[in-house]
C-alpha cells in the first residue's frame, strides 16, 4: 500500500500537534498525523504536570534567557534561548489561551496564576492544577480533529524513514544529499506496512525515558524517532545529557509517578528520612529550587551516603490540606491510592530518568541535516536546553518549534514529492515467527538495567565501558531477533531502545567532562562547585 500526503507528522504530542495546526491554515494542504498509541492524546505531553513557562508579572525576556542559560550549564545556545524566551510566551497567549481556551488556573481576581519551579528566579509557570500537559493535549487534539485537511490516525507505528539514498531504486540517488520522503509505517491492527510518502516529514516522537529502569515517562518513550533519524543519517547531538527528575514517587507499583517540581515551587521541602533538610548545603543560593541536575544529584548523594531507600518531600507542613487538594489533585489522589495522605505526611521520593536534552540536531526552523526532515520537541536538539533543561520549558519549546517548523514548511517550494515508483514496497525480513514475549521482556529489562546501573546519574569510565560492551552484545542479539521475526510494535520499540541506549552511552563515553546532566565521577566538575565546596567529593561507587 502506498499513500501520498503533503506533510507527514510522526507523533501527536504538543510539538507534532502545533506543527499540524500551523500547516492546516492552508486548507489545500493535506496533513497526515500518525501516532503509535491507540489514544491520540497518549504522549509525553499528557504527563507533564507542572506547567508551561510563560511571562510572569515580574518577568522579562532577559530574565528567562538568564535562567535557561544558567540551568543549561554553559551549553545552551544563547540566540536560541532568546528565541524561545521572546517568541514562546506570546504563542502561549495567542494559541493556548486565546484560540484554544486552555483553562489555566487563575487567581480570585481572574488574572492568571503563575508558579515557580527549580531554576526559575521568578514565578512564570502557567498550570492547570497538576495536570497541565493533559489539559493542553486535550485542547490541541480536539482542534486537530475538527480540521478537514488533517488526518489523525492512531495505532500506526513508524518503522523507518524513507530516504533517497537508502531506498530509492534509482542507483545514482546515493550521490545526492540525503532527502527524506516520508516513512514506512506499520498498521498495528492489520500488521500491514505502508509507504507513507511526503515531501516534508516532521519527527515529533518525544523522548527516550523507557531505556532506563526507572523513568517518569510513559511506555511510548522508547527513542523510536531518534533511532530512525540516526539510521537515516541525520546528525544526533548532545545524547549524553539525560535529565533525571529529582522527585518521583518511591512506592512499589507506583511506576515512578512524577511528583511535580511545582510542589517545591509552592513551598515543599526535601528532607532525609530522619527529618534533616539538606538542599541548602548543596545549593545555598537556591535551596530546594536549585536546577534539576543539582537537586537530583544531591538526593542521590544523600541516598548513597546514608543508605536511604528514598528521601522525603514534605508539603503537609507548608500548605493546608484543602489548598493541597485543590492545587495538586492528581498527585494527592495518586499518593492516597498508594496509602500516603500528602496533607498529613511527607511523600517518599527518588530520582528517575525524565527528559532527553540531546536529540536530532534541528535549527531555529526545526530543519535537520536531512532534506525534507524536521524534528521538533523532545526528539530534537535545538540548543535551548544545553546540558540541563530548565523546568517547564519542554512544552514551550515543543509548542514554539512545532509552529516554527509548520511555518517554514509552508513557506518552501523546493520540497517536491518523490515519484512513488522509485520507492519499493516494504520488504519484510520475516513473515513467520511471532515475537516471543519472554524474549521481548527480557531484552528490554536487560537494556534498562544496563542504562540504570552504568549510564545513570553518576557515570565513570569503568561503568561506561561495561555498558558499551553489554549494549554491543544486546544490539547483535536484538537485531537478529528483529530480522527473524514478524514485525510488530513491541519489536520496533525494542530495536529503538537498543539503538538509543547505545547512542546515549557512546556519547557519554566520549564526553569525559562533567557538565549539567552528564556527571562523570572521574572528571573535574566545574558546574558542581557548590557540591564540592560544601560536601567534599561525591562518592566513588554506587551500590544498587
Q: Which is nearer to ligand SIN, 138 or 168 (CB)?
A: 138
CA distances from 186 to 183, 215, 428 (A): 10, 26, 11
Q: Which of 46, 292, 389, 459 does the annotation list as catalytic?
A: 292
Distance CA 108, CA 112 (A): 9
Q: How far is the CB of 428 from ligand SIN (least distance, A)?
A: 39
261 near ligand SIN, rule: CB under 6 A:
yes
Q: How far is the CB of 392 from ligand SIN (least distance, A)?
A: 4
425: exposed, middle or buried (Cβ count in 10 Å: 0-12, 13-18, 19+)? exposed
Q: Find all residues with CB under 8 Å of 148, minimum gap 6, and list them.
A: 27
248 near ligand SIN, rule: CB under 6 A:
no
Among 380, 394, 499, 505, which residue sits at the site for ligand SIN (rule: CB under 6 A)?
A: 394
Q: Which is nearer to ligand SIN, 245 or 444 (CB)?
A: 245
Q: How far is the CB of 266 from ligand SIN (least distance, A)?
A: 11
Binding piece for ligand SIN, criterion CB under 6 A, among 152-160, 220-228, 391-399, 462-470? 391-399
Residue 292 annotated in active site: yes
Q: How far is the CB of 130 from ligand SIN (least distance, A)?
A: 7
**Full 3-state SS string of 463-526:** HHHHHHHHHHHHHHHHHHHHHCCCCCHHHHHHHHHHHHHHHHHHHHHHCCCCECCECECCCCCH
14-23 vs 132-146: helix crossing angle, rounded to 10: 30
Residues touching ligand SIN, count (CB under 6 A): 10
Binding mask 87-126 for ligand SIN (x = CB under 6 A): ----------------------------------------
Q: Which three cell numbers stand for residue 355?
A: 527528559
Residues in region 478-537 near ligand SIN by CB under 6 A:
none
76 near ligand SIN, rule: CB under 6 A:
no
Q: What is the DSSP string of 16-75?
A: HHHHHHHHTTSTTS-EEEE-SSSSTT-SGGGG--S-EE---TT--HHHHHHHHHHHTTT-
392 near ligand SIN, rule: CB under 6 A:
yes
Residues in region 321-380 near ligand SIN by CB under 6 A:
355
Kindly report the number of other CB atoms within 10 A of residue 15's CB atom.
36
> Burial letters for 198-217: b for 16+ Cβ neighbours within 10 Å, e otherwise?
bbbbbbbbbbbbbbbbbbbb
Among 45, 168, 260, 369, which residue sits at the site for ligand SIN (rule: CB under 6 A)?
A: 260
44 near ligand SIN, rule: CB under 6 A:
no
Q: Which is nearer to ligand SIN, 49 or 369 (CB)?
A: 49
Q: How far is the CB of 264 from ligand SIN (least distance, A)?
A: 9
Q: Supply the residues annotated as catalytic.
A: 292
Site residues for ligand SIN per CB under 6 A? 48-50, 260-262, 355, 391-392, 394
Amino acid at each position: 500500500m502506498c499513500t501520498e500526503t503533503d506533510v507527514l507528522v510522526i507523533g501527536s504530542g504538543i510539538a507534532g500537534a502545533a506543527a499540524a495546526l500551523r500547516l492546516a491554515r492552508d486548507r489545500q494542504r493535506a496533513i497526515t498525523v500518525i501516532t503509535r498509541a491507540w489514544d491520540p492524546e497518549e504522549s509525553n505531553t499528557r504527563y507533564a504536570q507542572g506547567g508551561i513557562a510563560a511571562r510572569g508579572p515580574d518577568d522579562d525576556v532577559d530574565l528567562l534567557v538568564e535562567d535557561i542559560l544558567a540551568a543549561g550549564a554553559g551549553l545552551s545556545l544563547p540566540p536560541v534561548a532568546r528565541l524561545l524566551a521572546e517568541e514562546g510566551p506570546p504563542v502561549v497567549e495567542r494559541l493556548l489561551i486565546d484560540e484554544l481556551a486552555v483553562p489555566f488556573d487563575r487567581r480570585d481576581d481572574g488574572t492568571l496564576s503563575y508558579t515557580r519551579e527549580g531554576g526559575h528566579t521568578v514565578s512564570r509557570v502557567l498550570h492547570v492544577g497538576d495536570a497541565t500537559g493533559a489539559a493542553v493535549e486535550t485542547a490541541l487534539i480536539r482542534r486537530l480533529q475538527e480540521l478537514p485537511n488533517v488526518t489523525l490516525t492512531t495505532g500506526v507505528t513508524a518503522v523507518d524513514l524513507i530516504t533517497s539514498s537508502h531506498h530509492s531504486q534509482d542507483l545514482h540517488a546515493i550521490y545526492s544529499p540525503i532527502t527524506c520522503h516520508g516513512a514506512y509505517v506499520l498498521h498495528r491492527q492489520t500488521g500491514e506496512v505502508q509507504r507513507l510518502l511526503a515531501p516534508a516529514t516532521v519527527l515529533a516522537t518525544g523522548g527516550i525515558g523507557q531505556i532506563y529502569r526507572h523513568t517518569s515517562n510513559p511506555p511510548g518513550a522508547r527513542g523510536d524517532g531518534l533511532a530512525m533519524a540516526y539510521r537515516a543519517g541525520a546528525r544526533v547531538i548532545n545524547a549524553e545529557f539525560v535529565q533525571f527528575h529529582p522527585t518521583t514517587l518511591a512506592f512499589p507499583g507506583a511506576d515512578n509517578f512524577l511528583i511535580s517540581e511545582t510542589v517545591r515551587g509552592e513551598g515543599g521541602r526535601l528532607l532525609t528520612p530522619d527529618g534533616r533538610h539538606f538542599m541548602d548545603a548543596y545549593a545555598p543560593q537556591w535551596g530546594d529550587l536549585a536546577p534539576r541536575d543539582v537537586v537530583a544529584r544531591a538526593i542521590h548523594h544523600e541516598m548513597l551516603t546514608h543508605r536511604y531507600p528514598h528521601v522525603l518531600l514534605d508539603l503537609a507542613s507548608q500548605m493546608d490540606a484543602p489548598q493541597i487538594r485543590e492545587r495538586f489533585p492528581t498527585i494527592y489522589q495518586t499518593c492516597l491510592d498508594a496509602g500516603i495522605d500528602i496533607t498529613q505526611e511527607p511523600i517518599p521520593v527518588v530520582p528517575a530518568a525524565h527528559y532527553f536534552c540531546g536529540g536530532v540536531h534541528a535549527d531555529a526552523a526545526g530543519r535537520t541535516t536531512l532534506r525534507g526532515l524536521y524534528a521538533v520537541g523532545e526528539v530534537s536538539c535545538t540548543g535551548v536546553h544545553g546540558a540541563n533543561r530548565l523546568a517547564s520549558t519542554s512544552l514551550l519549546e515543543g509548542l514554539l518549534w512545532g509552529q516554527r517548523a509548520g511555518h517554514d514548511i509552508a513557506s518552501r517550494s523546493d520540497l517536491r514529492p518523490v515519484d512513488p515508483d522509485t520507492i519499493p514496497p516494504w520488504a519484510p525480513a520475516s513473515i513467520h515467527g511471532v515475537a516471543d514475549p519472554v524474549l521481548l521482556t527480557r531484552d528490554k529489562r536487560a537494556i534498562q538495567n544496563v542504562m540504570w546501573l552504568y549510564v545513570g546519574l553518576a557515570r565513570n569510565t569503568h561503568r561506561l565501558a561495561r555498558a558499551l560492551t553489554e549494549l554491543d552484545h544486546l544490539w547483535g542479539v536484538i537485531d537478529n531477533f528483529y530480522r527473524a521475526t514478524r514485525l510488530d510494535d513491541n519489536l520496533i520499540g525494542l530495536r529503538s531502545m537498543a539503538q538509543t541506549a547505545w547512542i546515549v552511552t557512546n556519547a557519554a563515553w566520549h564526553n569525559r567532562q562533567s557538565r549539567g546532566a552528564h556527571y562523570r565521577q572521574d572528571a573535574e566538575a566545574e558546574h558542581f562547585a557548590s557540591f564540592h565546596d560544601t560536601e567534599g567529593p561525591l562518592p566513588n561507587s554506587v551500590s544498587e
